[in-house]
Amino acid sequence: MAAGFEAKFAKAASRVRGALRLRSVLGGLALGLVVGAACSAGLWYAREGWLRPIAAGAGALLGAAIGAELGRRRRFSDEDVALYLDAKIGADERITTAVLVREGSDAGGDARAVVLDQAERALDAASPSVWRPRVASRLHALLPVGLAAAVAISLVPLPPAPPEPPPAPGTELMKAGEVPGLEKIEALAELEARDDAQKKRLKELADQARQLRERLRRGAPEREVRADLAKLADALAAERLSLGEGEERRGLEAALGQLGKHPSLERAQKALGDRDLTAFDEEMQRLANQTEKEAREQAKRALEEAAEAAEREGAKDVAKMLREQKKLIEQLEKRSQNLRELSKSLGEGLGQEGAKALAGMNETGDPESQRKLAEKLEQALSGMSEEQRKQLAENMKKQLQQQLAELEADPDAMPQDLEGLKELAEKLSTPEGMEELRKQLEEMAKKPPEGSEAERQRKLEEAERGLGEAQRGLGAMPMPMPGQQGGQGKQGGQGQQGGQGQQGGQGQQGGQGQQGGQGQQGGQGSGKDSPGGQGPGGPGGDSSPGANGKGPGEATQKLPGGELRAHAGTQLLPGGTMPGTSLGRTSARPGETANAQGMGALGAAGPGEVSGVNRSDVPEEYREQVGRYFEP
Amino acid sequence: MSEASDFEARLDTARRASARLREAIGEVLVGQDEVVSQVLWGLIAGGHVLLEGAPGLGKTLLVRTLASCLELRFSRIQFTPDLMPSDVTGTNVLVTAADGTRHFSLHKGPIFGQIVLADEINRATPKTQSALLEAMQEHACTIGGVRHAMEAPFFVLATENPIEMEGTYPLPEAQLDRFLLKVLVPSPTEDEMTRILARTTGRGMGDPPRVLARDEVLALQQACRDVSVAEPVMRYAARLVGASDPEAKSAPPLVRSAVRYGAGVRGAQSLVLAAKSVALLEGRANVAFADIQRVAKPVLRHRLIRSFEGEADGTTTDRVVDALVEAVPSRPEDVERAATR
């Protein structure tokens, strides 16, 4: 009898528990779907289209899982099931009592058998439809609702982007369809970087420029645009000065120290110290063009020593750049030698200007003279008849034989010199070779070879000029940058608004460079890249106090700024120092600082003072100058 | 005979005996079916019953009729203010034997009956009332230092009159607690009154028939004890009693405000015992939640001590019991929710 009740009760309990579990799962699923649909709606509002069905599905799954877990935790015990069945059937707790007095239990006494019998009869008498729990509940009505909502929200098109919030009162919007100049910053993304970190930084710069262009196309508050432009300017300047910065600073100092030991490399040292790699590159060209072989060899040795010193101090990038420059010198050396040999063979055919350029190149190693010489040689070769070409080739061969004879007599002669001569002679022996030579000369007349760092710096400077161009285009005053202001140096300088250099070039806003400060080591100007002026302009040397092209002793000009309320009319004393300033450079070691005029030993310096300018409040654009002022 | 058929037979006997008793009592007493049922619950559960009702509602008649229907020794004590305990229990009297010797002999009082009617119990002094205490609880009586056991079954039926309270001595709580049930005897309905008039104003009626012998009564009481009670049902009884304590967390607001002391352990025992007798008389071998609810009022009404606020508000203990039954769930919440869906 007990077995009969046991089996029937077990079956009923299983059905009751299954139905309750299913109800719990379905309830969780319904709630989860609704929550998922709500999340989908949120994502729809946030315009995250593809996440919508995932959110709804995840909500449903999570809800079902929670429902299953709740169902497991709330699983009815036998006693609960019995109480439930008694309540549903109206069995007056017969089943509950029977469950508790089942076989194995001592409870029940004499009544046990009757209780079991009565309970079994009660179970038999009741139809399962009476006691089977209803799986469906009111909560389950949410199931189709949630499903429909989730599907609908997943399929409905995303809402249009909300209109931009109106600018704050007083905010001026700046809008520009085209912003010339920014493309030069965007081009930095394609620039070959020194390392991965720099590549990332360059890409970020390009991205910022692109985003700025986009924002300007849509219209953006003027203040934000100006702030972005200023940030870009800061970042570009920092990138331009990044070689030898930070951990490589000591290595750079060591390399500068090595270069400083050679008087002929003084200007190269200065250019490298200024992180003016274009000027450094030009100085290397000048050295390669020198006629004295010993001077060239000395320069190469100095570069190698500097590279080693930098490497010892951990400045790998600086060392790499120096070694690259050394190779460049070797290439240029060969090239200038070839030019000389060719000029020599041409003789009178070179013309007066060519001879002058040759003389200039031999005297100063000036790359411009070399360029001009190449141009003249190319012109000379272009106008040559077949007869003249043969004659020239003959001359070259004779020259080669003569050189070989000299080489036998002088074993110290450099073999590459002869190689170049031999190569020239061979080229000139055929019309095709001469054409090839002519093209090479034409190329040389256009652009001298340059190191990768120099090329990077040139591109960065181009980007800075592009930024200045963009700033002007947007009506902002560009921040002063090296090489932008007018002034005249001996060798000119690349100027954007530049004054007039030696080779001319009218700046837009600058004063006459000739009246500017007299620079000592200005860079080579080139009017091509200067949107502000037709010709090259450039900054004065580092001791040039003239701003806007005005030298000391003269009153500053009236500026056309409508907003300007006053201007300085103070007569500046030429060469005089301002109170509280110090002048001059003193020999010192890294870590020391100049704090007194004319003092040799600078005493101990706190560790915080080394490269302190980089951590100071001095604007990025001026740090280089300020740092240079205090550097040994 | 198997266990099942044996107990089944006892259940059947109980059912038939109950029917016969009702029928026999019904020949004398008009109406009062619920009162009769409750008195039978007390008899079968082996407890004592306190009948409360206005004079003339048939309380004494019911007890006398019941005693007539059972082959049990009946005794009646009319409680009066001058009633002495020895009048209830009996006393040792000096007896002179035929040979002239003298000795004390126990003259048993009316308490030594098997069905004892303590009529108007609240008219006696507490001292005399307490003479019943030992007999009711221990089924024994100590007289002159000698303990005398009562003959089973021992069933005390006391009556009290809720009006004419002047010169009465309300029963102390300890004594009230010894009554299994307190049965309220209601006034008869118009139909019942008419039938009473017809039956009592004519010729006198004969005695009701003897329905149950002593052994049958004892068998019924034994069967009542054998009825099964599932643990959830016992827990329910315990929860009900626990919630009657105004300090309990589960106490409903009415209990908190109207009750000073709740029922105790004896109350819970009485609930289960009375519920067992209900189940037995209905032919069931187990107790249901409904049985507990059905006996809750007669079992608990005299065990709840009202607070001043409760008395002032006129809150009856029956109302409190109703509130208890309503507030205390019989089944676990999950089961109840699943069952009511």
Comparing alpha-carbon positions, the chain B residue that sits nearest to A116 is B4
Token pair of A261 as six digits: 């030991």
- Taking the Cβ of residue B283 and every Cβ of chain A, the question of whether any pair is shorter than 8 Å is answered with no
- What's the DSSP call for residue A595? -
**Is the pLDDT reported for residue A321 higher than 90?**
no
A241-271 residue pLDDT tens: 777 777 777 888 888 888 888 877 888 888 8
The pLDDT value given to residue A105: 54
Burial A309-343 (b: 16+ CB within 10 A, else e): bbbebebbbbbbbbbbbbebbeebbbbbbbbbbbb
The pLDDT value given to residue A5: 82
B16-46 residue pLDDT tens: 888 888 888 888 888 888 888 899 999 999 9
The pLDDT value given to residue A496: 39
pTM over 0.80, yes/no: no
* pLDDT (mean) for B218-236: 90
A210-221 residue pLDDT tens: 888 888 888 888
Helix axes B3-28, B265-281, angle to 10 degrees: 90
Which is nearest to A486 in space by CA: A471, A503, A501? A501
The pLDDT value given to residue B324: 92
CA distance A362 to A356: 10
- What's the DSSP call for residue A194? S
Residue numbers in A near B233 (CB within 8 A): 93, 96-97
Binning pLDDT at 50, 70 and 90, where does residue B299 land? very high
Question: Are A80 and B341 inside 8 Å of each other by CB?
Answer: no
What is the overall mean pLDDT for chain A? 72
Binning pLDDT at 50, 70 and 90, where does residue B294 land? very high
The pLDDT value given to residue A175: 80
Comparing alpha-carbon positions, the chain A residue that sits nearest to B6 is A110
CB pairs under 8 A between A and B: 98
Which is nearest to B29 in space by CA: B169, B154, B200? B200
Q: Which of A75, A114, A134 to mutate to test the interface with B (most CBs of B within 10 A)?
A: A114
The pLDDT value given to residue A608: 58
CA distance A505 to A216: 32
ipTM at complex level: 0.81
Question: Are A111 and B230 inside 8 Å of each other by CB?
Answer: no
Residue numbers in A near B8 (CB within 8 A): 114, 117
Tell me if residue B105 falls in helix, strand or coil: strand
CA distance B141 to B75: 16
**Is the pLDDT reported for residue A631 higher than 70?**
no
A182-223 residue pLDDT tens: 888 888 888 888 788 888 888 998 998 888 888 888 888 888
Judging by DSSP bridges, how do beta strands B146-149 and B140-143 pair with one another?
antiparallel
The pLDDT value given to residue A490: 38
The pLDDT value given to residue B163: 72
The pLDDT value given to residue A449: 64
CA distance B88 to A204: 111
Q: How many residues does the structure list for chain A?
A: 632
Residue numbers in B near A111 (CB within 8 A): 7, 226-228, 285-286
B57-116 residue pLDDT tens: 888 888 888 888 888 888 989 988 888 888 888 888 888 888 888 888 888 888 888 899
> Which residue shows structure tokens 């034994």?
B222
Q: Which of B2, B228, B334 to mutate to test the interface with A (most CBs of A within 10 A)?
A: B228
The pLDDT value given to residue B208: 80
CA distance B193 to B198: 9
* pLDDT (mean) for A388-402: 73
Comparing alpha-carbon positions, the chain A residue that sits nearest to B280 is A111
The pLDDT value given to residue B298: 93
Q: Which has more pLDDT, A219 or A66?
A: A66
Q: For residues B229 and B274, is the Cβ–Cβ distance under 8 A?
A: no
The pLDDT value given to residue B279: 92
Of A342-356, B110-124, B292-306, where does mean pLDDT reach its minimum?
A342-356
Comparing alpha-carbon positions, the chain A residue that sits nearest to B12 is A114
Handedness of CA A71, A75, A80, A85 (dihedral sign): positive
**Is the pLDDT reported for residue A545 higher than 50?**
no
Question: Residue A497, Cβ neighbours under 10 Å: how many?
Answer: 24
A231-243 residue pLDDT tens: 888 888 888 877 7
What is the overall mean pLDDT for chain B? 87
Q: For residues A450 and A167, is the Cβ–Cβ distance under 8 A?
A: no
Q: Which residues of A touch B (CB under 8 A)?
A: 1, 20, 74, 76, 79-80, 83-84, 86-88, 92-94, 96-101, 107-118, 133-134, 137
* pLDDT (mean) for A561-571: 54
**Is the pLDDT reported for residue A174 higher than 70?**
yes
Handedness of CA A351, A357, A363, A365 (dihedral sign): negative
The pLDDT value given to residue A384: 73
Residue A578: Cβ-neighbour burial (10 angstroms; 0-12, 13-18, 19+) = exposed
Of A54-58, A365-369, A486-490, B203-207, where does mean pLDDT reach its minimum?
A486-490
- Taking the Cβ of residue B309 and every Cβ of chain A, the question of whether any pair is shorter than 8 Å is answered with no
The listed range with the strongest mean pLDDT (A96-105, A342-351, B311-320) is B311-320
A121-171 residue pLDDT tens: 888 888 888 888 888 888 888 888 888 988 888 888 888 877 777 777 777
Question: Are A94 and B334 inside 8 Å of each other by CB?
Answer: no
Of A327-331, A472-476, A581-585, where does mean pLDDT reach its minimum?
A581-585
Of A439-443, A460-464, B240-244, where does mean pLDDT reach its minimum?
A439-443
Judging by DSSP bridges, how do beta strands A173-174 and A220-221 pair with one another?
antiparallel
A413-461 residue pLDDT tens: 554 455 666 676 677 667 777 777 777 777 766 666 666 777 888 888 8
Which is nearest to A95 in space by CA: A85, A103, A104? A85
For B37, half-sphere exposure in the C-beta direction (CA atoms, 13 angstrom radius) is 17
CA distance B76 to B115: 8
Tell me if residue A598 falls in helix, strand or coil: coil
Question: Are B338 and A84 inside 8 Å of each other by CB?
Answer: yes
Q: Which of A20, A106, A110 to mutate to test the interface with B (most CBs of B within 10 A)?
A: A110
Q: Which of A87, A97, A137 lies closest to B286 in CB terms? A: A97
Peptide bond into B153 cis (omega under 30): yes
